[in-house]
Every structure is written in C-alpha cells, then in structure tokens.
Amino acid sequence: MAVYTEVSFEDLERLLQEYDVGAPLTFKGIAEGVENSNFYLQTDRGAFILTLYEKRVSSGDLPFYLGLMEHLSRRGIVCPLPVPTREGALSSTLNRRSCAVVTFLNGLSVRRPTAAHCAGAGAALARLHLAGEGFGLTRTNALGPSGWKPLAEACDSHAEGVENGLAALIREQRKNITEAWPALPGGVIHADFFPDNVLFMREEVSGIIDFYFACNDMFAYDLAVTLSSWCFESDGSYNLTKSMALIQGYRSIRELSREEVIAMPVLMRGAALRFLLTRLFDLIHHDPNALVSPKDPREYSKKLRFHMKVKDAREYGF
C-alpha cells in the first residue's frame, strides 16, 4: 500500500455521497507497499480502506479482484469485503482513478515471522487455494513467464547500474526458467502472499489482504512465492525450520503431488525472478511524488542466486 494520488477532504466528501458508510471522522494515507494509493477511513459506522488503483491494476480486472474477495469471504476466508455504492457498484472513480471502498480488518502483519507464524501462513494459503474453487471469473497471470520478457527488456540497459552482472543473470535465468516451466494443478492464487499481506492476532492468522495480483495459475507457484518471502532471514540465509513449518502447515490442508514437489526448485527460481523484475522496473521508473521508496531488487537477485544452487526440493524441507 502507498499513496501516489492525493485525495483532499473535499474529494472524499464527494465520493462518500455515493456510499452509505456514514460520516467521515478520520482519513489518512497509508505509506506502505508499492502498487496503489491507499487511505484509512474511519466513519461513525466503522473502519474502511479506500483504494485508488494505479500502475499495474487495470480497471478491467476490478470485477475479478472484488468479486474474488466476495467469493472467498462466502467460503470462510477472512478478507476485506468490497462496499457497494448506493447503486450497487463495487467500484467508482475518483481523481481520474478507479477506486473501491473495502472493509478494514483487525490484526497486524509480522516483520519477523516465527516458525509458528509460517505454519499458520502455509495453512491459510492452502485454505485460500481450496476456497477459490467455483469462482466464476478467471484472470491470466500477467506477471508469469510471458510477462517477464517485456519487463526484462525495459530494465536491460539499466540493470548493470543497480548490480554488476544483473543483466546477464536476468537474461540467462529467464531463458532457463521459461524452458523448464512446468504445467501443474492450479486455480485461483493470491500471487503476493508476503508477510505484510497476512494479518495475525498473536500467532493466529486473522485475515488476508491485498488481492490485486490474484490470478489463475499453479498452486505450487503460489507456495514458492510464499516460501521465498517468509523463510529468508535478513542476512540472506534460508531458514529451513520456517520452511518446513510453512510446508507442513500447507500440507495439513492441501496435499502436494509428487510432481509439484519435484518442480519446486524451478518454481522458486521463477518466483524470485518475477519479484526481481518488478522491483527493478519500479526502481528504474520510480515516481518521485510517491510517499514510499521502491523496494530493493537486490534482495531478490540474492534469493535467485540461492535458488540456482538448489537441485532437489528436499533442500527446502520437503
């Protein structure tokens, strides 16, 4: 979450005429994340999040994202619920941006997850995968292998200025990973199941947020994204205890096939390359007016190099 587009109190008042959410009491920007403009809204009837969609979020995809949250909520997943306008629409327009109001969830994201947090996250991810069954809309993963080429080409001439050898690393790994990319069971995935998108009360998952990368893809790829974002320590080491806890948590809800496990090393490399590319692109094309700094792509070049050394899924704790 972040703020790219400012919203004045007058703007807010005009927008809220479309909604039946009460009178505003508190309204402030949320300076976290990198994708959309987000604001915390407290009214005399409750707490909400106002999101203005920027950058990679197409207004044409909003029915998928917002409808998915409604579907998952009906299936028992605690996630934000879109608030309809008085006319029943799930989205509106503000300051030339598509926008939506969703319910606010209680809970805190953890910056340093423990093995217990990882186990809870793994189980929550598996529940999400099962709960997505039957959702009537589909969305292709725009940041899967087919989306890596344009990102890589847009970054190629600048990559060396970020890290020596980075351009060659991206070219080599994009080719190798794409050639080895598997076809595995899938459905609706979150695709951004990072610690800051999972809320906890103590060590229990209390909610899942930020579904704006959700799409249809392989379940095991979503697990690879999650392992890479939860199980590395700040010194770059991979925490096998956390990895095993997360895998066990996932498998307690949804078992993995032999093919999914075997494919994990290449899926982990693909997950690392995806976030390396998007972070590199955001760094190169950073909006100086944003209230948040772009995330360091070198975190994921290090993770990619780690995964390149892994030959067997057992090295991750499978």
**What pLDDT shows up at residue 58?**
84
The residue-averaged pLDDT of 76-98 equals 95
**Cα–Cα distance for residue pair 290/30, rounded to 1 Å:** 11
pLDDT digits (tens, 9 = 90+) for 119-154: 999 999 999 999 999 999 999 999 999 999 999 999
Would you state the structure tokens that stand for residue 165, as one six-digit string? 């050898």
H, E, C per residue of 53-92? CCCCCCHHHHHHHHHHHHHHHHCCCCCCCECCCCCCCCCE
**What pLDDT shows up at residue 59?**
84
115-316 fold: Aminoglycoside 3'-phosphotransferase; Chain: A, domain 2 (3.90.1200)
pLDDT digits (tens, 9 = 90+) for 89-129: 999 999 889 999 999 999 999 999 999 999 999 999 999 99
pLDDT digits (tens, 9 = 90+) for 164-177: 999 999 999 999 99
- Give the domain ranges of the chain: 9-103, 115-316
pLDDT digits (tens, 9 = 90+) for 181-202: 999 999 999 999 999 999 999 8
pLDDT digits (tens, 9 = 90+) for 19-44: 999 999 999 988 665 578 889 999 99
Closest residue by Cα to residue 67 from 115, 137, 166: 137
The residue-averaged pLDDT of 198-220 equals 95
For the chain, what is the mean pLDDT? Answer: 94
**pLDDT above 90: percentage of residues in the chain:** 86
Residue 6: pLDDT band by 50, 70, 90 thresholds? confident
Q: Are 89 and 110 in contact (CB under 8 A)?
A: no
pLDDT digits (tens, 9 = 90+) for 261-303: 999 999 999 999 999 999 999 999 877 666 567 899 999 999 9
Q: Are 199 and 178 in contact (CB under 8 A)?
A: no
Residue 1: pLDDT band by 50, 70, 90 thresholds? very low
pLDDT digits (tens, 9 = 90+) for 51-74: 998 877 888 999 999 999 999 999
**What pLDDT shows up at residue 34?**
55
**What pLDDT shows up at residue 292?**
65
pTM over cut 0.85: yes
Residue 308: pLDDT band by 50, 70, 90 thresholds? very high
**What pLDDT shows up at residue 272?**
98
| The domain over range 9-103 is classified in CATH as 3.40.50.10260 | no
